[in-house]
Amino acid sequence: MSDPAIRPARNEDAQDLFGLLALCFAEYPGCFVDPHDDLPDLRDPGRAFAGRGGAFWVVEDERGRVCACVAADEPEPGLVELHRLYVRPDRRRGGLGELLVRHVEDFATARGARGLMFWSDTRFRTAHRLYGRLGYSRTGAARELGDISQSSEWCFAKSLPAAQPGASGEAA
């Protein structure tokens, strides 16, 4: 069986993306989706990360609905930040989360990044196990978001191998 197709997010995906995040957040008591204050990138997913040297990608299910997503940008030269890794609960445990993380790693390596980092809500323990399995470590940094969910996040990071000569500079 082949890997599902990863494609760039389009603005028409906004409703599916809000639904995906709401479904994922509903698994955690006190975790809410607030489209007005803390998710502005979901209102314009087709361009949300492009202005920051990044991209937003989605995977569709067999009905054409977004069932997983991930985004990345480059907050500083040589460092890529992963954002918005979410997989619909009925699509988990099949390698889709790992596929999306590897997609961002390939994107980062092709750009010549030497490291990849991201912030993850302290409640997302299942995701933290995935990150550990993929070689990410908590850096010790933490932050409080002051959002509707009173989120606390931990920072995770991983060093990346040097890009191979002839790398295109962009992942699909």
Question: What's the confidence (pLDDT) of residue 38?
Answer: 66
Cβ neighbourhood burial of 32 (10 Å; 0-12, 13-18, 19+): middle
Contacts of 13 (CB under 8 A, 6+ apart): 45, 46, 58, 66
Question: What's the confidence (pLDDT) of residue 57?
Answer: 97
| Residues 63, 67: Cα–Cα separation, whole Å | 10
Residue 87 tokens read as 């997989």
Q: What is the pTM of this model?
A: 0.88
Cβ neighbourhood burial of 70 (10 Å; 0-12, 13-18, 19+): buried
The CATH homologous superfamily to which domain 6-116 belongs is Gcn5-related N-acetyltransferase (GNAT) (3.40.630.30)
Question: What's the confidence (pLDDT) of residue 165?
Answer: 54
Q: Please calculate the CA angle 88-34-40 and round it to the nearest 5 degrees.
A: 90
**Where do we find the tokens 């569709």?**
60
Question: What's the confidence (pLDDT) of residue 96?
Answer: 95
Question: What's the confidence (pLDDT) of residue 169?
Answer: 45
Q: Where are the domains of the chain?
A: 6-116
Phi, psi of 19, rounded to the nearest 5 degrees: -65, -40
pLDDT, block means (10 residues), the chain with 172 residues: 85 93 89 75 86 92 94 94 95 93 96 95 89 95 84 93 57 42
